[in-house]
A and B are shown apart, each in its own frame.
Chain A
Amino acid sequence: MDVQEFQSLYQRIRQELGRVVVGHDEVVEGVLLAVFCGGHVLLEGVPGVGKTLLVKALARVLELKFSRIQFTPDLMPADVVGTNVLVQDPDGRRSLAFQPGPVFSQIVLADEINRATPKTQSALLEAMQEYAVTVAGVSYPLERPFFVLATQNPIEMEGTYPLPEAQLDRFLFKLRVPFPDTESVVEILERTTGSRVPEAQPVADAQTVLRMQALVREVLAAPHVQTYVARLVEATHPQGPRPARAARRWVRYGASPRGAQALLLAAKARALVHGRAHASVEDVRAVALPALRHRLLLNFEADAEGVEADQVVRDVVEEVPEVAAASAGP
């Protein structure tokens, strides 16, 4: 696969998704970038804006196995990863056999993930990071590619369990799904209330996705781009050597090195999407918001003043200069 093929495939995937998902261009692009990077996505938005539809359509377009887990407070880890059940063979002998849970899929929609208990949430940790599940001491690898697309509702916070930082860090992107504008709503109505509901057609398969993921890692990243990523992450740390003003004021803990990895990988994927074989600072800036917003732990002052992580990330991106820009002049 080369750059042109990648870009062409991307365009086709976007086109197919666009038949089903109206609007949300940024969200669709973010999800696809995460897919090409092999990362997981946390989607945040009010109910009914098309989160589940997007994930389903994605699974269909990429021809990947799809499963959905509706997280509830009484959901148990075994309900997610599976469990050993007693089975009886034709000879009448009984034995324990592993019954895979819904996580054994390729695209897992963890719907309203913040409604489950931390114990259940953490059941996803190993799957997301190690691409394997261990039950009763036996490790079961997950089929690649494997994505977790979790959703959470930002308005009904009562009785929820906010995701711990460790788990948040495992998501490549956190994407906000906004309410669609009037034109998009009209388009949705037109498409979904008629006699024929459009459906997305598969344009790729698992192998293609894996090849796309491999190509992303071949994208060139110059040292100044890597240094810029490092400085950007470094600037989010208030105790770091070069903290940004916003970070010094609003942030308690900054982004982790995993955040830097996510930034650069997403920048590479974006470069390919735009037909380039090299990542640029512009790519890094473009993906900084979804890649960093969930990795910043804001302090009390930020909570008190209603400052959101998005604003902090934007300020940090604005403040951190390009590595050689200062010497290169205007």
Chain B
Amino acid sequence: MDPDRLLQSARQRLAWRRALQAGEAAALWLLLSALGAQLGTLAFPYSVRLDWAFLAVAAGAGTVALATRLLVRPTTTETAHWLDRRCALQDRMATYVAVRGAAPSRLLGHFLRDVQRAAAEVRLREAVPLRPARWRAVLGLAACVVAWDLLVSGSTLPNTPARRVAEVVRQEGRRLQDLAREWEREARGRGWREALWSARNVRQAAASLASPRATAELARRQLARLAAEVGAARAEVRARAQDQGALPGPEGPQLHPRAARALERELAGLGRALEEVPLSGEQAERVLRALNRLESTSPLRPQSPAQAALREARRRLRAQDRAGAREAVRRAEEAFRELARLLEEEGMLAKQRQEVEASSLSIAGALQGAADPEAAQERPIRYPNMPRNRPGTAGDRDDKDGEEWSWEGPQYGLQPGAGRVPEKVGPPTPRLQAQRRPEHLPGQPGEGKVYTGHVRAPAAGGEPRTRMAGLPARLVRQVDEVLRAQRVPAPYRDWVRHYFAELAESAP
């Protein structure tokens, strides 16, 4: 090969080689950084996503390689030196570059022939190999990153923020597992297909959260996906409820399931009334009025099957067609029953989503606390402290046995080591001024119908029942450890916290 052509070709290859080497070095450093970041997950609550890590490595290496190719170009002299060194040309090419335009020497002809001969023997691919030299190291590091993700990811060191967050994740996983089992049982009993499917999903996701290798990031991703799935199922059920005539509201259908059940029961009564023989004119008029009222007051769309059935029943009744009216009322009852079922299922799905989101928020809170440990140490946690002996407050007394109720609950709450434990623990929950309806119907399991729901009413007036007090985070952790280790029953937990709060206040 002609020395000039050889130099030109070698220069191009050298530029590519340098670009590849730069990219390789960048990949090496980025993979090392990824491995370091993975190592950091042992102590700090963050996660390294493998796909993002490799994407960053590829992007970084590619960018560096491209920039190097565009910006760094070897000179002819550098290329000549490269060839001299790689091919043991003993400075022939460098000398050739230097003496090309120099004054002729007696030995120049001999030298040029010598260079031609040497250049002809150069194998360019061997002289300027493009294969990076450290590709084994790059592959090895990549394998380490993958292996870490598969084998070690999720492990944490004791007494580190990462371990605390992991414990929160596992707690939430176990909590959701318990809830999901209940939801599954209830949905199976009631034949709620969407809710059952959703509860199973929640249980499976919760099981992975409760595993020892679950990471906060994975948990949040899973919970977000779960919330979306539950939301989708809920939307489907809601759409079916709306097909049944329920009017859409800002937070769901306007019609409450229990209202639908009440309407269903009322229609059942009307149906029974229509079966009575003979039906007096006054009774018929009463039924007609009831149908009127139901049609006008029920929050359903006019085109809904239930409303149409009601209208049909009214028309038949006016036409003295009692059998037709009874059939129409039965159809309306069926429609309301289906509507109630859909609304209840929708309520169950709403609850599932709420719990999933609550878990996600709890994990996010743990992550936030771990991200700012100093603030978590210094910032006093506001914890509700029970007010003591507030006589005269409505609902704060238990007048059942004539004793004045004390906010102190178990007497050992004030003075460590002294006091008595009454049979009844703690004050009764102050009831809101609203009518209560039994949530469970009597009957054998599987036969009756269970109503669940929330009673919404205005909050009780007056001063707040709790006052807020600042407690150091250390004390709160101490309390939490005691509660976890001693398996304190739920009714007593507030009092245990109160006990420690008193200890903290009395300490100098």
Contacts and interface: CB of A to CB of B under 8 A. Distances in A.
Given A225-B95, A278-B95, A218 B107 contact: yes
B98 A224 contact: yes
Interface in B65-120: 74, 77-79, 81-82, 84-85, 90-92, 94-95, 97-99, 105-108, 110-111, 114
Contacts of A3: 107, 110
B213 interface: no
Given A2-B110, A220-B111, A329-B18, A278 B91 contact: yes
A221 B92 CA distance: 10
A330 to B, nearest CB: 8
B105 A328 contact: no
Nearest to B99: A220
Interface string A274-290: 00111111100000000
Contacts of B94: 222, 224, 324
B99 A324 contact: no
Contacts of A282: 90-91
Given A327-B78, A328-B82, A276 B99 contact: no
A276 B107 CA distance: 9
Contact of A328 (B85, B97, B99, B114): B85
Contacts of A280: 84, 90-92, 95
Contact of A277 (B79, B81, B114): B114
Interface in A283-326: 322, 324-325
B81 A328 contact: yes
Contact of B85 (A2, A223, A325): A325
A49 interface: no
Contacts of B95: 220-222, 225, 278, 280
A219 interface: yes
Interface in B256-277: none
Contact of A278 (B18, B74, B111): B111
Nearest to A1: B106
Contacts of A278: 91-92, 95, 99, 107, 111, 114
Interface in A1-37: 2-3
B391 to A, nearest CB: 89
Interface string B226-263: 00000000000000000000000000000000000000
Contacts of B74: 328
B107 A329 contact: no
Contact of A329 (B82, B97, B110): B82
A225 B114 CA distance: 18
A100 B74 CA distance: 62
Nearest to A283: B90
Given A322-B81, A328-B81, A222 B91 contact: yes
A219 B107 contact: yes
Secondary structure type dominating chain B contacts: helix
Contacts of B77: 224, 324
Q: Which of B90, B92, B108, B114 has the most CB of A within 10 A?
A: B90
Nearest to A271: B90
A20 to B, nearest CB: 32
A277 B90 contact: no
Given A3-B110, A280-B90, A223 B81 contact: no
A277 B111 contact: yes
Interface in B143-191: none
Given A2-B110, A218-B105, A225 B81 contact: no
Contacts of A215: 106-107
Contacts of A225: 91, 95
B107 A220 contact: yes
A218 B108 CA distance: 9
Choose among B18, B74, B84, B92 the residue with the greatest number of A CB atoms under 10 Å from its CB. Answer: B84
B102 to A, nearest CB: 8
B90 A222 contact: no
A2 B108 CA distance: 11
A41 to B, nearest CB: 25
A218 B106 contact: yes
Interface string A212-230: 0001001111111100000
Contacts of B90: 276, 280, 282
Interface in A173-224: 215, 218-224
A220 B108 contact: yes
Contacts of A277: 105, 107-108, 110-111, 114
Contacts of A325: 81, 85
A185 B97 CA distance: 48
A282 B99 CA distance: 18
28 contacts: A3-B110, A218-B106, A218-B107, A220-B99, A220-B105, A220-B108, A222-B95, A222-B99, A224-B77, A224-B91, A224-B98, A225-B95, A276-B90, A276-B92, A277-B110, A278-B92, A278-B99, A278-B114, A280-B84, A280-B95, A281-B91, A282-B91, A322-B81, A324-B94, A325-B85, A328-B74, A328-B81, A328-B82
Leading 4 A-B pairs by shortest Cβ distance: A280-B91, A222-B98, A277-B107, A328-B81
Interface of A: 2-3, 215, 218-225, 276-282, 322, 324-325, 327-329
Given A278-B99, A328-B79, 4 more contacts: A222-B94, A277-B108, A324-B78, A328-B74
